[in-house]
Amino acid sequence: MNAILPAASPRTLHRVPVRVLMVDDSAVSRSVIGRIIDDAADVNLVSRVSSPDEAFAFLAEQRVDIILLDHEMPGRKGLDALPALLDAAHDAHVIMLSSHCQRGSKTAVAALSIGASDALAKPSAMDSGPEFAEQLLSRIRRLASARCQNSAEADRLILRPFPEGFAVHCIGIGASTGGIHALAELLSAVSARPGSPVLITQHLPAAFISHYAKQVARMTDMPVSIARDGEVLRDDHVYIAPGEASLSCIRDGAKVRARLIAERDMLSSARPSVNPMFAGMAQSYGAGSLGIILTGIGRDGTAGASAVVKAGGAVIVQDETSSTVWGMPGSAARAGLVSACLAPHEMPHYLRAHFGLG
Catalytic residue among 300, 319, 323, 339: 300
Q: Please name the amino acid found at residue 77.
A: K
Catalytic residue among 71, 100, 169, 203: 203
Catalytic residue among 50, 113, 176, 246: 176
Tell me the C-alpha distance between 323 and 318, whole Å: 7
Tell me the C-alpha distance between 88 and 29, whole Å: 23
Tell me the C-alpha distance between 165 and 132, whole Å: 53
H helix or E strand, kind and range, residue 315: strand 314-318
Whether 176 is catalytic: yes
Ramachandran quadrant class, 161 (left: phi over 0; alpha: psi -120 to 50; beta: rest):
beta
Name the nearest CA neighbour of 69 among 87, 94, 32: 94
Whether 203 is catalytic: yes
Which residues lie closer than 8 Å to 118 by C-beta, 6 or more apart? 93, 95, 96, 112, 139, 143, 177
**Positions marked catalytic:** 176, 203, 300
